[in-house]
Amino acid sequence: MSKPVSMQEMVSSRTEAAADDAEIMAKVAAFDTPSVGIFNKDGLGMDPALKHYSRDDADGLHPKASLKPGILPSVLHNIGNTPLVRCSRLAEAEGIKCELLAKCEFFNSGGSVKDRIARRMVEEAERDGRLIPGVSTIIEPTSGNTGIGLALAAAVKGYRCIIVMPMKMSQEKVDVLRGLGAEIVRTPTEAAWNSPESHVTQALRLEKEIPHAVVLDQYSNPNNPLAHYDGTAEELIEQCDGKIDYLVAGAGTGGTISGIARKLKEKVPGIQVVGVDPYGSILAQPAELNETDITGYQIEGIGYDFLPKVLDRTSVDIWRKSKDIDAFNMSRKLIRLEGLLCGGSCGSAMSAAVEFCKTLPADKRVVVVLPDSTRNYMSKFLNDAWMEDNNFIESQFDPELQAEWWFNEPVSNMPQNFPITLNCSISCEGAAKIMAKEDFNQMPVIGDDGQIVGIASEANLMTKMIQKKLKGTDPISGAVYKDFKQVDTTETVGNISRMLDKEHFVLVVSKQRCYTSEGEASEKLTIYSIVTRADVWTFMNSRKSGESTPAE
């Protein structure tokens, strides 16, 4: 009996076919088209044809907390009515005079603001007949939080759920999704939204291939902003007795900031909305704000390389750009000073809000939306080693260790075992023979263009072949690690020794400029060496055994 093919393997084997599917690629292209039938054109409200729910309707999707029963029918009824908390200690520490309030969305059942839209999209799809419990499959491309909200609803209501998400999203999100019974497909972080490899394209392909599958599509589903227009915004108005001077929120799909802003601008005269977008994203206006050398960011859940339909940029009065380093350190500060167990994108919104608030007088009130919880990032910004590895905080080493002769030596001063590389087209069987012949248990894999594709490890290769996930004739490119530590030749041996506490090896690279024509040069990374714990240990002890270093 043959082993069933996993969802991930099915998607990986059909990526190229997606590019040739005109129907799928047309749907992908529609993700970046102007919204129709969502927002009114006069700058206020939502399309009048859309269905709304009153806060006074106990059976509606967004009832007041006072209307909820003491015993809830299910965990889905614990979504909404999140607390608004005064951040007085943070304000004092930052020298802020105005009132600073945090809307703590991580108190929702699934731990994020996206629980609101997940429940609303599912229940509206059930009313429309698109979703049938026990029959339909829910599929969604997401950065993780919408996936968790949908998986939560699917677990309660009895749906199969498939979540398609980029590789950069945290392992904690993956573990929670699997715990809720969702199937997960990972896509390359670097894939553009409209490429065949993207999470959007792969979700639409699965929808076409799986019977009774539905992509609820948070990027264009009007129930995304409506959940905030009918729910979150009304809560804020009630909690603040109608007095809000500024709203600060991050922009991802745009449903949160657009839905809240539309309602607040109707009911709170003079309110200003501040949108926060990470460097490397294109959502902010004017376009000049998005000009940067930063091509990627670690923050999850906000920022995109296209304009989702549910993002109404006309409802945002002021845009601020955020940096990873400021965001993650602000999240840590919120946890330490206010006890708010919030996630990384909370730090993006709050760091921008803090700088903005420093210009405001004491009589102003600022509300900041904090989208998700610390639970999703325990191995990331809460982890000192991760923060140090990504240069978000300075490394904290024992002074005695730093005084060792080898600690600040550049890795280029170590004796180098210049690696042998594998071309990405070499077969898995051939790669295994080469590694055995050369006595290497891992080797870099290089593409036809000379760029580094990843690292092939003997153990990983053997495991995949034994489990029948790869055949001996398959190219080695299907068995590479892409998530590995990479440093340049100036990195110190001390820092590399810290990395090797968690990593099996560190790849040392150098930059090379290549002229393709007169006056036109390109830059690529070339492999300098691979460093292991044994290499560092040998170097540390080289003086004791009377060996000299290249620097001597």
Residues 329 and 193 in one domain: no
Q: Is residue 471 part of a domain?
A: yes
Assigned token pair, 417: 């075992």
Residues 248 and 280 in one domain: yes
Query: What CATH number is given to the structural domain containing 495?
Result: 3.10.580.10
Is a pLDDT exceeding 70 seen at residue 314? yes
> How many angstroms separate the most distant Cα atoms in the chain?
83
Residues 495 and 524 in one domain: yes
Residues 437 and 514 in one domain: yes
Q: What is the pLDDT of residue 8?
A: 61
Q: Is residue 550 part of a domain?
A: no
pLDDT digits (tens, 9 = 90+) for 154-195: 999 999 999 999 888 888 999 999 999 999 999 888 788 788
Residues 337 and 448 in one domain: no
DSSP 263: H
Print the domain residue range for 502.
397-540
Residue 42's pLDDT band, with cuts at 50, 70 and 90, is low
* Boundary of a domain, candidates 157, 189, 215: 215
Query: What CATH number is given to the structural domain containing 274?
Result: 3.40.50.1100
Q: Is residue 47 part of a domain?
A: no
* Boundary of a domain, candidates 174, 189, 215: 215
Residues 451 and 503 in one domain: yes
Residues 335 and 245 in one domain: yes
Q: What is the pLDDT of residue 14?
A: 55
Residues 448 and 304 in one domain: no
Q: What is the pLDDT of residue 170?
A: 85
In terms of Cα–Cα distance, which of 112, 85, 92 is closest to 339?
Answer: 85
Question: Do the strands 422-423 and 442-446 form a parallel or antiparallel pair, or are they unpaired?
Answer: parallel
Residues 446 and 343 in one domain: no
What mean pLDDT do residues 21-49 have? Answer: 74
Is a pLDDT exceeding 90 seen at residue 461? no
Task: Name residue 428's amino acid.
Answer: C
Residue 545's pLDDT band, with cuts at 50, 70 and 90, is very low
Residue 280's pLDDT band, with cuts at 50, 70 and 90, is very high
Q: What is the pLDDT of residue 3?
A: 43
Count structural domains, the chain: 3
Q: Is residue 41 part of a domain?
A: no
Q: Is residue 48 part of a domain?
A: no
pLDDT digits (tens, 9 = 90+) for 331-388: 999 999 999 999 999 999 999 999 999 999 999 999 999 999 999 999 999 999 889 8
Q: Is residue 507 part of a domain?
A: yes
Assigned token pair, 372: 């998700």
Residues 447 and 308 in one domain: no
In terms of Cα–Cα distance, which of 431, 398, 368, 418 is closest to 86?
Answer: 368
* Boundary of a domain, candidates 327, 342, 377: 377
pLDDT digits (tens, 9 = 90+) for 398-416: 888 888 999 999 999 998 7
DSSP track, 328-352: HHHHHHHHHHH---B-HHHHHHHHH
pLDDT digits (tens, 9 = 90+) for 483-536: 788 899 999 999 899 888 888 888 898 887 777 666 677 777 788 888 988 899
Residues 283 and 361 in one domain: yes
In terms of Cα–Cα distance, which of 381, 392, 270, 389 is closest to 336?
Answer: 381
Q: Is residue 475 part of a domain?
A: yes
Q: Could you tell me the pTM of the whole model?
A: 0.81
Q: Is residue 45 part of a domain?
A: no
Active site residues: 114
Residues 461 and 432 in one domain: yes
